[in-house]
Each structure stands twice: as structure tokens, then as C-alpha cells.
Structure 1
Amino acid sequence: MAQGLSVTASTQTPLTRNQVLSARGRSLLKRLEGVRLKPYDDQTGLAITQWVAGATIGVGHLIDQADWSAFSAGISQQQAETLLAQDVAPYEREIRKVVSASLSQSEFDALVIFAFNIGRRAFSGSSVVRLVNNPKASTGYASLETAWKAWNKSQGKVMQGLNNRRSAEWRLFDQGVYQ
């Protein structure tokens, strides 16, 4: 597919006000993020017993210091699911707001998963959004795939885990493969 955007007309639909992450997309997001019912430090992955910047629980839910007492003992699987639904909703809205191109469900899911990882502000101003909206947009990248996969660093270092994640997201966006 050229630039990852050529999809048959029958599978591509304009974004609607209510398009949301599919069940398959949610499942892939949970596999990529992992589900942890006890608090951990997002940077190290180590379990924590007191709040630190980057304290995380569930499916990538950042814990505010003021909320630490509510999460310090851990959460149930159902609570993790509820947090995920709450945490994903702003990303769904952001994509509906900033993406003007027609998207298949798998493309929408890939963008939600990608944005969830890099953050709404970074996503909204990214070359990825510019190239999704206009494949001929002038950016520092040769293609949408290159722009997408450039988000592979944490604290300035290339991370193999992020390379793997970007590849999985790209397969979903470009080929509709949920794995």
C-alpha cells in the first residue's frame, strides 16, 4: 500500500464523531502495554511501594501523587479495564479531532495505540498526523512509515521494545494485522 493509506473503499470510512478503539485494538494495546495490577515504575518496570514520578498501574495508567493511596495496594482486573476505557477516550477524541483523512478501523486502532504511547500533544503535532492527512506533506521523513518508526527512543536512546512496538503498530496501520 502506498504510504500505508491505500485501502479499499469498502473498508475505509470517514472518521465519525463516535469512532472508538475496537475490541481487537484494545486487546493489542493490552498486549503491547502489558497489564499490571500492582504499581510499578514506568521507566524501570520495577514494582514500587511508594509513589515516584512515572508510577503506573493497569494498562499504562499513570498514577498522580495525590491518587497514590487509591492505587498503592493494587487494583483488580476489572478496575484495570475501567481505567483503560477512561484513559483511551481522550486519545480517541484527539484522533477524531486532528485526523481529516478517511480511516479503516485498523488504521484508527493503530493511531490510538500509537498516540496512547507517545502522548496526545506529541501525537497531534507529529509528522505522522501531517502525513496521514496529506501523504505529500513536507516533513523530514521519506514516508509515513519512516515518520512512525522514528518514535523509537526513550530518554534519547533507541529502545528495542519501542522498535518492536512501532513495527506492530505499523503492521496494524498498513496491513490490518492485529498482532
Structure 2
Amino acid sequence: MVDVSAELGQLSELDELTGPAAATVLDASGWEGERRNPAKEWATTWRRDDALAWIQGDGPVEVEFTLWYREVEDEWPDPDTYIDDLYEAASAELPRVVAQLESGALGARLEVSGEDLTNGVDYIAHTAWRISDKVLLAGIKHDDTEAPVQLVVVVREYGAGGQDDEGEWL
């Protein structure tokens, strides 16, 4: 699994988490920009090894790293029967990612908060911290029956953005 601690450290130190600034961090860290939204000046999807990253929103943006994912229909012939197994597999990986973040260079800067830092996103399981004026969250999500189960790490401005009822980024 790709370690994104260095990228998260750089992103958390930005004065403002903008698309161009996030793209510069990803590019300098060896991520390959894959897709560019014609309305944006930067690549919105990125890849490094088996990990993916998305820069979502306009400004400030949210950067989501997908470190682990399993396609529901690829795993087993009957997804409804085995979805709990996928959740368990992802849940087994989450503590490793959390431990990596807490014990790495970011660890001393991470602040546990009693407030809900999910920004309205429904996670199966997650751990979230404040880091300066940003939110850092590691979590497992499964958006719908056709989507993969994913272990993601998200960094965004504290109190910024989120998704509306249709899943569009604010």
C-alpha cells in the first residue's frame, strides 16, 4: 500500500488548499496526472502504483487518496452475499493506515477532535484529526452497490465544502 504521509504533510502546510497547489504537490511526489477536467487548470485524477488520488472541488479543494479498493462484482459472484467480507477486509487494513499516520512525521501534529469531521460523508469506519487548519481523515467507504469498497485518506480545509444531496462537490 502506498504511503502518502509526505504528500499529506505538504498538503497540510499549504496556506490554502487550491487545485494548482495540490497538483504541484502530487506532481513533485511522483504521481502521474491522468485526467483533466476541461474547466480546471490542473489534472483532477492521479495515479501512483496501485493508488489513486482525486482533487475535488474548486477552491479550496479536497484531495482524496484511495489506497485500497476492491470491486464488488470482481470479488465474488454474488456481491450481496459477500459484501460484509469486503467490509471486514477493508476494516483490517484501516488500523495499519491510521498507525502509519499517527506514528509518522504527521503524528505530533495530529489533533483528535470530538466533533464530526466527516463533512456529511457516510463512512463505514473512520478516524479523523485536525491538523492546523485542515482535516485529515482515514476511512472506509462504499458509495453504492456498483462502486468499489475503498480505503481512503482525505485532506481538506476545516469547515470547507462537502457534498450536496446529489453527491456533487460544493
Fold shared by both chains (TM-score > 0.5): no
Task: Indicate the structure (1 or 2) with the bigger Cα radius of gyration.
Answer: 1
TM-score class, shorter: under 0.3
The alignment's TM-score, normalised by the length of structure 2, stands at 0.28
